Chains A and B, each alone.
Chain A
Amino acid sequence: MTDRYNIHSQLEHLQSKYIGTGHADTSKWEWLVNQHRDSYCSYMGHFDLLNYFSVSENESKARVRFNLMEKMLQPCGPPADKPDDA
């Protein structure tokens, strides 16, 4: 019994500590949102990826970063009405 509770609390701990840690009820939308945000964050963090986007879009790096930041807000549109359908 204690073991099961323990695992449960460990998971909860992970979920609170690391955003994006999945659980049994993670919806497809939630998972996708986390994937997208992680990607955008990686684009901003890796300087040459930002350069790459900046050159191809011909926008300033600050603008590219701003756009990525804005996209992080809701990368996959609004969530579905009933999360359990997703």
Chain B
Amino acid sequence: MFLYNITLQRATGITHAIHGNFSGTKMQEIVVSRGKILEILRPDANTGKVHTLLTVEVFGIIRSLMAFRLTGGTKDYIVVGSDSGRIVILEYHPSKNMFEKIHQETFGKSGCRRIVPGQFLAVDPKGRAVMIDEETTMLFKDIYYHFIIIKTEADNDPTGEAAANTQQTLTFYELDLGLNHVVRKYSEALEEHGNFLITVPGGSDGPSGVLICSENYITYKNFGDQPDIRCPIPRRRNDLDDPERGMIFVCSATHKTKSMFFFLAQTEQGDIFKVTLETDEEMVTEIRLKYFDTIPVATAMCVLKTGFLFVSSEFGNHYLYQIAHLGDDDEEPEFSSAMPLEEGDTFFFQPRPLKNLVLVDEQENLSPIMSCQIADLANEDTPQLYVACGRGPRSTLRVLRHGLEVSEMAVSELPGNPNAVWTVRRHVEDEFDAYIIVSFVNATLVLSIGETVEEVTDSGFLGTTPTLSCSLLGEDALVQVYPDGIRHIRADKRVNEWKTPGKKTIVRCAVNQRQVVIALTGGELVYFEMDPSGQLNEYTERKEMSADVVCMSLANVPPGEQRSRFLAVGLVDNTVRIISLDPSKPLWSKCLCLQFSEAVFYNGVLLRTVLDPVTGDLSDTRTRYLGSRPVKLFRVRMQGQEAVLAMSSRSWLSYSYQSRFHLTPLSYETLEYASGFASEQCPEGIVAISTNTLRILALEKLGAVFNQVAFPLQYTPRKFVIHQETNNLILIETDHNAYTEATKAQRKQQMAEEMVEAAGEDERELAAEMAAAFLNENLPEAIFGSPKAGAGQWASLVRLVNPIQGSTLDQVQLEQNEAAFSVAVCRFTNTGDDWYVLVGVARDMILNPRSVGGGFIYTYRLTGGGEKLEFVHKTPVEDVPLAIAPFQGRVLVGVGKLLRIYDLGKKKLLRKCENKHVPNLVTGIHTIGQRVIVSDVQESLFWVRYRRNENQLIIFADDTYPRWVTTACLLDYDTMASADKFGNISIVRLPPNTSDDVDEDPTGNKALWDRGLLNGASQKAEVIVNYHVGETVLSLQKTTLIPGGSESLVYTTLSGGIGILVPFTSHEDHDFFQHLEMHMRSEFPPLCGRDHLSFRSYYFPVKNVIDGDLCEQFNSMDPHKQKSVAEELDRTPPEVSKKLEDIRTRYAF
């Protein structure tokens, strides 16, 4: 088996974000790292939308990211520390839209190691130096000014009590420019353990020095006479959190202008504080903190010069806010280090909804994908992806469909059912369209576009006839083609008309800026061209085609030329002819060439052909099936580029995005006709008709593969199952470190009572009022976070969801500290047709080291047509039930390390059979026939045979590698795919001579050599595939993604990525891609210096998988490299691109 890896959607979680002027213009960009992906984003200051400029997979782990600027420069560079053991400096080239590696410095071995630097980066504010630090410090480049690191000196020598007092040291380094050397300036032990540092601008901008963020405190330090300034981190008033918990800052952003600077720092509850420093003659006298706003907890924040705040959330969607106020002049209290406080005491504030920030844009983020199932539950032909993602109160159930999201700008009803629509501009220089022309069976409606869209009659268009086409002709004239003639409307409203001869009518036409070609009934072509005076002249000679014309197309006139030289005509006899319109050549000559990539259609199939303008060869034909209706094509503009809208039973957009050709369906109803649309409100829209409505649509999320619908959940979703009969989902949600609703309400009540009790006699009334206000206060947890209850506290629920409406049909809240970990829906042979839902629950579980107070299996009956959960009984078990699977009318349950078969009883489930030989913890159970495949948390897979006669579960085979299996999937009777915690996917298969009939050895007198190695099973599975994805895979499923497509193995990752592994169908293909991958590795090595082969072999040597992500980078190589690689493969570059696209479209999109 040979597989090919394709990423369908790249990871969406952000681990680092930096901002700067990376393209060297005034515009600020944001560079984000998505783990193994580097991406550059540009927030548009006018629209407030964030656009992606470039995404590059680096095939390595980005551990740190910094921007720096050379002295006197205007362009920022990117420093990337990765697991390659190297540090690279990248430059962004906006013209070529690519990153260029301008420097690479090797430090050590690859991997995320303690002794290889790269985890922490610091940059000298003047851009002269970069410092890299792991646990040991190393220096890089030879030019330094001064900056600071925390160095953890974990001392080994002190015995006993001394070790507890180990302190962190803060060390200031300074660059001596004269000596070109770094000097260790000053070192000091810290009182608390810091978790991160904020550098304070130095020199002319500020007092320099550093803010140390540690648990509960923020401290300012500098060398010299500067005393330490310390301020406690304010806490929320009446917080439900565990009172013993400390508070830390998790991220910060610095904003600096010529006159002032401030920091925004976010706590782990999501509260942002504005931090300012008061200075007196270069000495810092005071730290001031002011509560700014509360937003979801972020991994990084960037304050942009345009007044935007970009926030990359830890989990869930990312946001772009506008900073509306700086929080300077309001009534809210400010906290200062100068205020006297007792040691250990802190300030309190009241969190509130946003006041200083305004949300302007949101970027969808699936991370973390906890579970995913692919099925066509909505009966749409194409399966949907049901993805349970998010953590805690920000969790969602999302339904993903392949397609572009369409935003509806306007919908208006029309008097009848129109059959076509066009937009025209009034003048060639105009930026926006002036008229929308709608054609009906016997009339034409003209609408003018302004503030509103209104019907007009003075446009010069003929309203009493249907229209075949209309467009702008020349500079400022308009043309309307209707069945009986052509109407040429000049700018001064003079109208020239051309009437069809005799009984003939116009059936088809093609128009561009200067030319008009019409086809009359019977296949006669008439050609018109505009002369320099603006007159439309008929060309005397006419062309008879051999059959009726079904379609025609003219390319746009190339800039600087008089005409487009070619016309494409499609005939009834299934041919497409290209006709020359060049007067110097014999007119109406036969097939020549098109100068643009053209799409041709029939029978719902789209062919995309590129024709070589030099040789005139027809090449690179790509075919796609679009739908059950004949395809119509419309040229539109998307992000300043030409795109083609194709309409069949679904509408598709064909466009080029980041050097890859995309053909994506629109997630919208069937459209009949469309045209590009540009107005002030909507610069790149589409006007389309659908039955009797006119719609103005915009496509904003180009490049997105999936269109999402999200339904909120309460806690982190763990698993879900589909009830096949009703297509409903049964979902379990579990949060560690959380209170259930009941406990929360109880604790709130308790706190309110305490408040009243604590108050003195005279303040009673006031306190009662405050308590009432506190009880009524309800801040949304999705933004403000849920209270952290402490370790070992669990909240959990079981939810029955209708996945199409997203409505919760039924819900069971479990008690405090009960945590649901597994769910199954099944029938029992001894109880007839009833469906049962089994939920495995652990009580009082401690995560590390794992211990558990007990477990239960809750049994519910599905009633009310599968819309109600009716509690049946509760079966106590001794350990965590992490896996449940239906098996031959009974259930298999993994209880801790035990594998058991249970049957349904009256009062509880009845244990029927048990196997104790799984080493650690059963995390998953799969069954096929009499075989049961069990995954262990640490020891990979075990094949178990159920022997019905003896009622025994016997392990007969296992795997030879220790894999920390997160999820597994059956591929066939002998083959299993599994994914592990470290981001590997592997496929193992039982050899053909494996025997299921292995006897357990109860006597123990079996020969030693029969027992298997190290107490393992006597038969071993063979590894077929090993592949390192680089992100933790939490779901695997074998499925088809497109109707008529072949099966593929779909995986989803914790970082929000979705990918597939597909088998090669021919040796030839495999050979081709193997060579392509090999050439790509040497010709186009990964950007951050990681060796591709060793990255894909991170934990196990890569086996039998070809990395399509690397192969697809072929399209972003520069043309001469493409050519040389293609030549090595005996192909041309378009042929290689076509191959890459073909394998993708065969299985997915």
Cα–Cα distance between A47 and B1031 once the two chains are bound (Å): 8
The CA of A70 and the CA of B194, in the complex, are separated in Å by 10
Q: How far is the CA of A51 from the CA of B847 in the complex (A)?
A: 16
Instruction: Please give me the residue from chain A that is nearest to B33 by CB atom.
Output: A47
Assess the A58–B250 pair: CB atoms within 8 A. Answer: no
B235 contacts the other chain (CB 8 A): no
Q: With the chains together, A20 CA to B109 CA distance in Å?
A: 14
- Per-residue CB contact flags for chain A residues 24-58 toward chain B (1 = under 8 Å, else 0) read 00000010010001100110111111011011111
> Does A19 lie at the interface of the complex (its beta carbon under 8 Å from any beta carbon of B)?
yes
Contact B114 A19 (CB under 8 A): yes
B944: interface (CB < 8 Å): no
Task: List, in ascending order, chain A residues with CB within 8 A of B135's CB.
Answer: 19, 37, 41, 72
In the complex the two chains form, what is the Cα distance from A47 to B1029 in whole Å? Answer: 13
Judge whether B156 and A58 touch: CB under 8 Å.
no
Scan residues 191-231 of chain B and give those whose CB is less than 8 A from a CB of chain A.
Answer: 193, 195-196, 215
Contact: A62 with B83, CB < 8 Å? Answer: no
Q: Given A19-B115, A63-B268, A79-B156, A51–B1032 Cβ distance below 8 Å?
A: yes
The answer, yes or no, to whether B1050 is at the interface (CB within 8 Å) is no
Question: Would A60 and B314 count as touching, CB distance under 8 A?
Answer: yes
Check if B737 sits within 8 Å of A48, measured CB to CB. no
Q: Does residue B923 face the partner (Cβ distance < 8 Å to A)?
A: no
Q: Is the CB of B1054 within 8 A of A48?
A: yes
Within the complex, which residue of A18, A30, A48, A69 is in contact with B152, where a contact is CB–CB below 8 Å? A69
Cα A24 to Cα B112 with chains together (Å) = 27
Q: Is the pair A49, B847 in contact by a Cβ cutoff of 8 Å?
A: no
Given contacts A41-B114, A51-B368, A79-B156, whether A58 and B738 have CB atoms under 8 Å apart is yes
What string of 1s and 0s marks CB contacts (under 8 Å) between B540-561 and chain A?
Answer: 0000000000000000000000
List of A residues within 8 angstroms of B847 by Cβ: 56-57
Which residues does chain B contribute within 8 Å of A74, judged by CB atoms? 154, 163-164, 166
Within 27-78 of B, Cβ neighbours of A (below 8 Å) are at 35, 61, 63
Shortest Cβ gap from A36 to chain B (Å):
11
Shortest beta-carbon distance from B156 to chain A in Å: 7
The residue that A62 contacts in the complex, of B13, B163, B248, B981, with Cβ under 8 A, is B248
Contact present for B1032 and A52 (CB under 8 Å): yes
A72 to B299, CA, bound (A): 22
A72 contacts B154, C-beta separation under 8 Å? yes
Measured in the bound complex, the distance between the Cα atoms of B297 and A79 in whole Å is 38
Q: Is the CB of B1054 within 8 A of A52?
A: yes
**Chain B interface mostly:** loop
Q: Are A58 and B1054 in contact (CB under 8 A)?
A: no
* Interface residue? B367 (CB, 8 A): yes
B299 contacts A61, C-beta separation under 8 Å: yes
**Which of A33, A49, A57, A78 meets B737, CB within 8 Å?**
A57
Most buried by B among A46, A54, A70: A46
Given A58-B392, A58-B737, A65-B195, verify A47-B159 contact (CB < 8 Å): no
Measured between beta carbons, the chain A residues less than 8 angstroms from B325 are: none
Q: B48: shortest Cβ distance to chain A, in Å?
A: 27
* Residue B391 CB within 8 A of the other chain: yes
Whether B314 contacts A45 by the Cβ 8 Å rule is no
Q: Is the CB of B1053 within 8 A of A48?
A: yes
Q: Which of A19, A38, A59, A62 contacts B136 (CB 8 A)?
A: A19
Residues of the A chain whose Cβ atoms lie less than 8 Å from the Cβ of B423: none
The answer to the question of A81 belonging to the interface, with a C-beta cut-off of 8 Å to chain B, is: yes
Complexed CA–CA distance, A45 and B84 (Å): 12
| Complex-state Cα separation, A3 to B644, whole angstroms | 74
Q: Give Cα A62–Cα B214 distance, bound, in whole angstroms.
A: 11
A1 proximity list for chain B (CB < 8 A): none
Contacts of B249 in A (CB 8 A): 62
A20 partner, pick from B115, B152, B195, B370, beta carbons under 8 A? B115
Q: Does residue A73 face the partner (Cβ distance < 8 Å to B)?
A: yes
Question: Which bracket fits the contact residues of B?
Answer: 35 or more
Decide if B114 touches A46 in the complex (CB within 8 Å): no
Complex Cα distance, B721 from A55, in Å, reads 21
Measured in the bound complex, the distance between the Cα atoms of B1032 and A29 in whole Å is 31
The reply to whether B114 and A38 contact each other, CB–CB distance below 8 Å, is: yes
Q: Is the CB of B981 within 8 A of A52?
A: yes
Query: B648 near A: Cβ within 8 Å?
Result: no
Knowing A51-B368, A72-B152 touch, does A56 contact B736 (C-beta < 8 A)? Answer: yes
What is the distance, in angstroms, from A42's C-beta to the closest C-beta of chain B? Answer: 5
Cβ-based interface call for B486 (8 A): no
Chain A residues closer than 8 Å to B215, beta-carbon distance: 66
Encoded as 1 (CB less than 8 Å from any A CB) or 0, chain B from 1053 to 1066 comes to 11100000000000
Residues of A within 8 A of B160 (CB): 78, 81
**Most interface-central of B195, B215, B716, B1031 (chain A CB within 10 A):** B195
> Given A19-B136, A60-B297, A62-B195, A48–B115 Cβ distance below 8 Å?
no
CA distance A20 to B791 in the complex (A): 32
B164 surroundings in chain A (CB, below 8 A): 74, 78
Taking a contact as CB atoms under 8 Å apart, the answer to whether A60 and B113 are in contact is no
Interface residues of B in 360-387 (CB under 8 A from A): 367-368, 370
B735 contacts partner chain A, Cβ-Cβ < 8 Å = yes
A26 CA / B847 CA spacing, docked (Å): 32
Residue of A with least CB distance to B119 = A45
The distance from the CB of B1010 to the nearest CB of chain A, in whole angstroms, is 35
The reply to whether B982 and A49 form a contact with Cβ atoms under 8 Å apart is yes
Residues of chain A within 8 A of B161, CB atoms compared: 78
* Chain B residue nearest in CB terms to A39: B114
Known contacts A58-B738, A59-B737; A51/B1054 CB under 8 A: yes
A49, A55, A70, A73: the one contacting B981 at CB < 8 Å is: A49
Query: Contact between B1032 and A45 (Cβ–Cβ < 8 Å)?
Result: no
Q: Are B716 and A58 in contact (CB under 8 A)?
A: yes
Q: Are A41 and B113 in contact (CB under 8 A)?
A: yes
Q: Does B788 contact A (CB under 8 A)?
A: yes
**Shortest CB–CB separation between residue B388 and chain A, in angstroms?**
12
Other-chain residue from B83, B114, B716, B1031 in contact with A55 (beta carbon distance below 8 A): B716
Alpha-carbon gap, A79 to B195, bound state (A): 25
| Interfacial residues of chain B within 289-317, with CB under 8 A of chain A in the complex | 297, 299, 314-315
Give the nearest-CB partner of A70 in chain B.
Answer: B193
Q: Which residues of A contact B981 (CB under 8 A)?
A: 49, 52
**Within the complex, which residue of A45, A49, A58, A81 is in contact with B391, where a contact is CB–CB below 8 Å?**
A58
Residue of A nearest to B109 (CB): A18
Interface status of B983 (Cβ within 8 A of chain A): yes
How close is A16's CB to chain B, nearest CB, in angstroms?
10
Contacts of A73 in B (CB 8 A): 152, 154, 163, 166
**A61 and B250 in contact, given A42-B112, A48-B1031, A55-B370 (Cβ under 8 angstroms):** yes
CB-based contact B35/A47 at 8 Å = yes
With a cutoff of 8 Å between Cβ atoms, the chain A residues found around residue B569 in the complex are none
A42 vs B250: C-alpha distance when bound (angstroms): 20
Contact A48 B314 (CB under 8 A): no
Alpha-carbon distance between A81 and B1146 when the two chains are bound, in angstroms: 66
Q: Is the CB of A48 within 8 A of B35?
A: yes
Pick the residue among B63, B152, B735, B737 that contacts A45 (CB under 8 A): B63
Chain A residue with the shortest CB-CB distance to B15: A47
Question: Looking at the complex, which one of B111, B113, B367 makes contact with A51 (CB distance below 8 Å)?
Answer: B367
Q: Which residues of A sit under 8 angstroms from B391, Cβ to Cβ?
A: 54-55, 58
Q: How far is the CB of A83 from chain B (nearest CB, A)?
A: 9
Of the candidates A45, A54, A63, A81, the one whose C-beta lies within 8 Å of that of B248 is A63
Q: In the complex, A55 Cα to B717 Cα: how many Å? A: 10
**Given A47-B1055, A48-B983, A78-B159, A63 and B115 contact (CB-CB distance below 8 Å):** no
Instruction: Please encode chain B, from 873 to 886, with 1 for each CB lying within 8 Å of some chain A CB and 0 for all others.
Output: 00000000000000
Q: Do A51 and B13 have beta carbons less than 8 Å apart?
A: yes
Q: How far is the CB of B53 from chain A (nearest CB, A)?
A: 22
Inter-chain CA distance A37–B153, complex, in Å, is 13
7 sampled A-B residue pairs with Cβ under 8 A = A41-B112, A47-B15, A48-B1053, A58-B736, A60-B314, A63-B250, A65-B195
- A49-B1032, A78-B158 are known; give 7 further A-B pairs, CB within 8 A: A37-B154, A41-B113, A51-B368, A54-B315, A55-B391, A59-B268, A69-B152
The list of the 8 closest CB pairs from A to B, nearest first, reads A45-B112, A62-B250, A41-B114, A58-B737, A48-B1032, A60-B268, A66-B195, A47-B35
